[in-house]
Amino acid sequence: MKPQPLFVTPQTYARALNVLGEKITVLADHATTQGYEVFLQHGPEGSGPPPHSHDWDESFYVIDGSVEITYDGTTLVATAGSFVHVPAGTVHSFRCGTGGVEMLSITSHTSQAANLFTTIDREVTAMPPDVSKLIEIGTRYGARLGA
């Protein structure tokens, strides 16, 4: 199927998914673009995923606030206007800074992130999360917890 043009406005956004306390809005998924995926992420202070890796590249553009991103033994603080690219297979994590963060994340053509986030939103509702359930969901979509 040939990809169709896409025009998304705040009034037409899908419901924000609750992914371990972060609100993630799917702006464009793989089925729509036939390639990459784009997400708008709002993370409250201190939120963020544990160390993990996945089968797709992931890039972050910080719109507002700050986020501490760790990969390959390096920890950096990305503030508004910063762009970070994490290649597929790289173990990484992040923590949202003081006051939280708003950022775009963009994934590569092999991404299953929209499916992963949708499933976590639907199946992992308690905090702290059931880690074995997160591992099972991640495995389903090409994501792995830990190193």
Query: What is the enclosing helix (H) or strand (E) of 138?
Result: helix 131-140
Which amino acid, residue 124? V
Predicted local distance difference test score (pLDDT) of residue 146: 80
Q: What is the pTM of this model?
A: 0.93
Token digits of residue 140? 């389903």
Predicted local distance difference test score (pLDDT) of residue 95: 96
Token digits of residue 12? 């037409």
Where the chain has pLDDT below 50, the residues are none
Residues 43-67: tens digit of each pLDDT: 999 999 989 999 999 999 999 999 9
**Fold of the domain built from segment(s) 16-145:** Jelly Rolls (2.60.120)
Q: What does the chain come to in residues?
A: 147
| Omega within 30 of 0 (cis) for the link into 128 | yes
Predicted local distance difference test score (pLDDT) of residue 137: 95
Predicted local distance difference test score (pLDDT) of residue 147: 65
**What is the C-alpha separation between 45 and 56, in angstroms, rounded?**
26
Residue 62 near residue 78, CB atoms below 8 Å: yes
